[in-house]
C-alpha cells in the first residue's frame, strides 16, 4: 500500500490546463466509470477526473472484470463533453492508448500498444482503456474515458499471472508515487485530447504506429466466436485495423482483440 492519491498530493504535480483541475477521489467505489457518469448526469463539467483506491465492480472491454485491489494501482475516469466532430477523428481510445504509452515510458517501461488500445510491456498487460458514451437523440451528451494502470502491484491472481504486469515489476521492484504517475498521464492525455479537438487525427495515428512494432507481422483478431487471421498492415484513421487475410485480400477489422501469432496474447 502506498499513500492515497489525494487532491493535495496531485495538485502540485499537475501540469495541465483543464484536465483534472476538478478532481475527486474515493477510497472505494463500484467503478470510477460509473461514478464519473453519475457525476456527469448531475451536471459535472468537462475535464473532471475521478479516481479511486479500489473498485468493487471495475469493468473492462467486452464485459470483462477489471481486477482492482486497494491502494496500489491507478483506477480513474475522465468526464468529457466533446464539442468537436467525433466522427471526423480517430477514436478517443486510440489517443488514450498513445498518451498512456508516452507517460509510462517515462517510468522505466518500454510500452507497446496492442490493437486497439491495450498497453503492454514485455508482452504483458500494464494498462487498459474503456470508453463509454451517453447519447440523446444521436447527440453525444457525455463521454467517460476510464483508465486502469497497474502501478505498484507485485503479484497477480493465478489467472492473470502470465498476462499482467506492473510498473513496479518492470522497474525490478521499485515503488512509484502514484500521484506522480497520474499527473504525467493527465498531461499526456490532455495533449492528445487537444489534438483530437483540433482535428489533428493524423498525428494520433502516426504516434500510435510508433508503439506498434508488430504491424507487418501475423496476427489474429478475435471477436466473440469469430477469428480473423492475417498480416496486420496499418491502423486506419477511424481506428480500424487493416489486415491482409490468408486469401491475400485486404480487410478492415473494426472491433475485437488482436493477438500476435508468435508473441503477445493478453
For the chain, the distance separating the N- and C-terminal CA atoms, rounded to the nearest angstrom, is: 26
Site string for ligand BTN, 75-94 (x = CB under 6 A): xxx-----------------
Q: Is 55 in the site for ligand BTN (CB under 6 A)?
A: yes
Q: How far is the CB of 67 from ligand BTN (least distance, A)?
A: 9
Q: Which of 112, 118, 190, 257 binds ligand BTN (CB under 6 A)?
A: 118
Q: Does 39 bind ligand BTN (CB under 6 A)?
A: no
Question: How many other C-beta atoms lie within 10 A of the C-beta of residue 139?
Answer: 7
Task: Check binding of 107 to ligand BTN (CB under 6 A).
Answer: no
Q: Which of 23, 66, 156, 168 binds ligand BTN (CB under 6 A)?
A: 66
CB of 58 to ligand BTN, least distance (A): 4
In the list 4, 60, 82, 123, the residue contacting ligand BTN (rule: CB under 6 A) is: 60
Site size toward ligand BTN (CB under 6 A) is 20
Using the rule CB under 6 A, is 128 a contact of ligand BTN?
Answer: yes
Q: Does 146 bind ligand BTN (CB under 6 A)?
A: yes
Piece of the chain touching ligand BTN by CB under 6 A; list 74-82, 134-142, 156-164, 250-258: 74-82
- Only segment of 71-79, 158-166, 178-186, 229-237 that touches ligand BTN (CB under 6 A): 71-79
In the set 14, 20, 37, 59, which binds ligand BTN (CB under 6 A)? Answer: 59
CB of 64 to ligand BTN, least distance (A): 5
Cβ-Cβ contacts under 8 Å for 31 (sequence gap 6 or more): 55, 57, 58, 59, 146
Q: Is 100 in the site for ligand BTN (CB under 6 A)?
A: no
Judged by CB under 6 A, which stretch of 30-38, 99-107, 222-230, 244-252 contacts ligand BTN? 30-38
Q: Report DSSP letters for the chain, one per residue.
A: ------HHHHGGG---SSTTSSEEEEEEES-HHHHHHHHHHTTPPTT-EEEEEEESS-B-GGG-B----TTTSEEEEEEE---S-GGGS--HHHHHHHHHHHHHHTTT--EEEETTTEEEETTEEEEEEEEEEEEETTEEEEEEEEEEE--S-----TTTTTTB--HHHHTTS----HHHHHHHHHHHHHHHHHHHHTT-HHHHHHHHHHT-TTTTSEEEEEETTEEEEEEEEEE-TTSPEEEEETTS-EEEE-SSEEEESSS---
Binding site for ligand BTN (CB under 6 A): 31-33, 55, 58-61, 64, 66, 75-77, 118, 128-130, 146-148
Amino acid at each position: 500500500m502506498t499513500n492515497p492519491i489525494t487532491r493535495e498530493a496531485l495538485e502540485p504535480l499537475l501540469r495541465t490546463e483543464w484536465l483534472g483541475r476538478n478532481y475527486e477521489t474515493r477510497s472505494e467505489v463500484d467503478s470510477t466509470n460509473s461514478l464519473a457518469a453519475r457525476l456527469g448526469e448531475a451536471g459535472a463539467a468537462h475535464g473532471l477526473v475521478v479516481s479511486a483506491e479500489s473498485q468493487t465492480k471495475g469493468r473492462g472491454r467486452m464485459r470483462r472484470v477489471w481486477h482492482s485491489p486497494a491502494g496500489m494501482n491507478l483506477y480513474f475516469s475522465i468526464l468529457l463533453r466533446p464539442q468537436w466532430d467525433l466522427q471526423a477523428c480517430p477514436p478517443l481510445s486510440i489517443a488514450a492508448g498513445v498518451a498512456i504509452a508516452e507517460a509510462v515510458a517515462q517510468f522505466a517501461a518500454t510500452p507497446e500498444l496492442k490493437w486497439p488500445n491495450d498497453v503492454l510491456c514485455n508482452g504483458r498487460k500494464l494498462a487498459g482503456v474503456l470508453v463509454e458514451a451517453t447519447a440523446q437523440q444521436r447527440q453525444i451528451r457525455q463521454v467517460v474515458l476510464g483508465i486502469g494502470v497497474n502501478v505498484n502491484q507485485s503479484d497477480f491472481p493465478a489467472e492473470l499471472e502470465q498476462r499482467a504486469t506492473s510498473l513496479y515489476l518492470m522497474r525490478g521492484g521499485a515503488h512509484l508515487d502514484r500521484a506522480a504517475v497520474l499527473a504525467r498521464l493527465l498531461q499526456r492525455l490532455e495533449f492528445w485530447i487537444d489534438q483530437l479537438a483540433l482535428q489533428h487525427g493524423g498525428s494520433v495515428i502516426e504516434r500510435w504506429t510508433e508503439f506498434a512494432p508488430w504491424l507487418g507481422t501475423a496476427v489474429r483478431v478475435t471477436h466473440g466466436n469469430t477469428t480473423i487471421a492475417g498480416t496486420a498492415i496499418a491502423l486506419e484513421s477511424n481506428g480500424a485495423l487493416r489486415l491482409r487475410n490468408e486469401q491475400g485480400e485486404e480487410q478492415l477489422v473494426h472491433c475485437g482483440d488482436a493477438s500476435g501469432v508468435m508473441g503477445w496474447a493478453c
